Amino acid sequence: MPVPLYTAEDLAVFSTIIARAACMRGWDADLGQGAPTAIQEVQCMQLGDALYFAGNGIEHMAIASYFRAFGVSDHTSLINCLKYSHWLLSTPAHQRSAVVGRAFAGGYSPQETATLNYAAASLVAHIPALSAQEITDARALVTTAALPAAPVRGLAWCLRKFAGAAAIAGLNRPAATLFNYPVNYNGLHEINLLNDSTNVHAELKLLRLLTYTRTQNLLHGTASDARVGGLKRTCAFCAAWINRFRPWIGLQYRVTLTLPANDTRAMGGGAGDRPSGVGEAGFGNYVQALFNGGANSLCVDVAAHSNDAEW
């Protein structure tokens, strides 16, 4: 299943489901074990046939454990993961015993619900609803006391982990899958999760990667349109940074950057650093300030260089 051309709103839906599902359980622990991990943000960027995910701080670790458990390795397996996760998260609490086969705590937060409502058309278009047979089969995997057949053991483990069902002898955590988990750009892969623990907000980590592909001439002339969408609307400091980044990357490398349009969601808060390490020393003061790695702000210092002879 090739990666379709997604909108920024589509990517916001993906990010929202991942953020909630990844923090619901300790996905690197066995059934009935492991504590949930808080996740502030997940952002997704599409460049051509590739999707890139990032979290704030070390949140990529929880996302990686979730991806590995659900067998995410390519676009098809990602959509399958999101499909089952959304079914579990969106089933009303009072219906879970009847529908899923077990009552369990946890669901979308008000912020996450606001994003799914904002991008409702994307949710309907790209996250398939489970068929009646798939629901019946999933419920059987949650409620069974016998070891499921080998082909569905991975799904059974994930569903039981999600619903808090008991362990079954022989039903083990699925083997880790091979999605791309790079520190920096390392070639074209459908699913990429940035292994980046810096104090940089997720969307700026992604835009740093985008910049690196251009300054290092790795994707020059291809994938010229970048789209980014996340769990939350960009905070004021990140918005200021992006407003200074967008004209530069557009003029310097002919890259068009698209964020969610007419975003009605509340603006996120918090403070992070600016990215660095894209070869900024080879540019003028504007770019050096933009990528100085220091604490981010409303970028007044960057704006001061807007009329420099060279960016």
Q: Give the distance between the most distant pair of CA atoms in the chain.
A: 72
pLDDT in tens, 95-118: 999 999 999 999 999 999 999 999
pLDDT in tens, 120-155: 999 999 999 999 999 999 999 999 999 999 999 999
Cβ proximity of 99 and 135 under 8 Å: yes
Residue 220 is predicted with a pLDDT of 61
Cβ proximity of 195 and 181 under 8 Å: yes
Q: Where are the domains of the chain?
A: 1-233
| Sequence-ordered list of residues with C-beta below 8 angstroms from that of 54, at least 6 positions apart, any chain | 42, 43, 45, 60, 193, 194, 196, 202, 203, 205, 206
Residue 175 is predicted with a pLDDT of 82
| Sequence-ordered list of residues with C-beta below 8 angstroms from that of 192, at least 6 positions apart, any chain | 50, 51, 52, 53, 179, 180, 181, 182
Place 310 in a pLDDT band, splitting at 50, 70 and 90: confident
Of all residues in the chain, the percent with pLDDT exceeding 70 is: 98
Residue 76 is predicted with a pLDDT of 96
Place 246 in a pLDDT band, splitting at 50, 70 and 90: very high
Residue 221 is predicted with a pLDDT of 61
Averaged pLDDT, 227-256: 95
pLDDT at residue 222 is higher than 70:
no
pLDDT in tens, 162-177: 999 999 999 998 887 7
Place 1 in a pLDDT band, splitting at 50, 70 and 90: low
Nearest to 299, CA basis, from 263, 271, 258: 271
Averaged pLDDT, 287-301: 97
Cβ proximity of 277 and 216 under 8 Å: no
pLDDT at residue 35 is higher than 80:
yes
Nearest to 28, CA basis, from 68, 80, 77: 68
Question: pTM value?
Answer: 0.96
Place 245 in a pLDDT band, splitting at 50, 70 and 90: very high
pLDDT at residue 85 is higher than 80:
yes
Averaged pLDDT, 266-288: 93
Two structure tokens written together for 185? 């750009």
Residue 267 is predicted with a pLDDT of 87
- DSSP SS3 for 50: strand
Averaged pLDDT, 235-261: 95
Q: Kindly give the pairing relationship between strand 50-55 and strand 191-193.
A: parallel
The position carrying tokens 């659900």 is 70
Q: Report helix angle 236-253 to 202-215, nearest 10.
A: 20
pLDDT at residue 80 is higher than 90:
yes
pLDDT at residue 271 is higher than 90:
no
Q: How far is CA 166 from the centre of its chain?
A: 29
Residue 223 is predicted with a pLDDT of 66
Candidate from 5-19, 28-42, 48-62, 149-163 with smallest mean pLDDT: 28-42
Nearest-angstrom CA–CA distance, 32 and 138: 18
Mean pLDDT value across the chain: 94
Nearest-angstrom CA–CA distance, 146 and 135: 18
Nearest to 66, CA basis, from 47, 88, 45, 46: 88
